[in-house]
A = this chain, B = another copy of it.
Amino acid sequence: MPYVNIRITREGATSEQKARLIQGATQLLVEVLGKNPQTTVVVIDEVDTDNWGIGGESVTVRRKRGQ
């Protein structure tokens, strides 16, 4: 019954990578807490780099500097 929300910047994650995140997060809950995978929900949010900040500036600005 767990709900897992993975938030990442939108920088080209493929469907295959997102499938691996879903599979891996579900497996983690099964292994660590014995949760039922059939009712484990994983939602991935991809956020524009203009809309994600760390260190007081956007990821867009950081990427331009090569970070």
The interface on chain A, measured as residues whose beta carbon lies within 8 A of the other chain's beta carbons, has a size of 51
Task: Kindly list 20 other residue pairs between chains A and B, CB separation below 8 angstroms, not including A39-B54, A42-B52.
Answer: A2-B7, A4-B4, A4-B7, A5-B7, A15-B58, A17-B32, A18-B50, A21-B53, A22-B53, A22-B57, A24-B32, A25-B28, A26-B55, A38-B55, A40-B56, A41-B54, A42-B53, A43-B47, A43-B51, A44-B47
Pair B4/A6 contact, Cβ less than 8 Å:
yes
CA distance A23 to B3 in the complex (A): 17
Pair B43/A55 contact, Cβ less than 8 Å:
no
Given known contacts A1-B54, A28-B24, A61-B19, A13 and B41 CB-to-CB distance under 8 angstroms: no
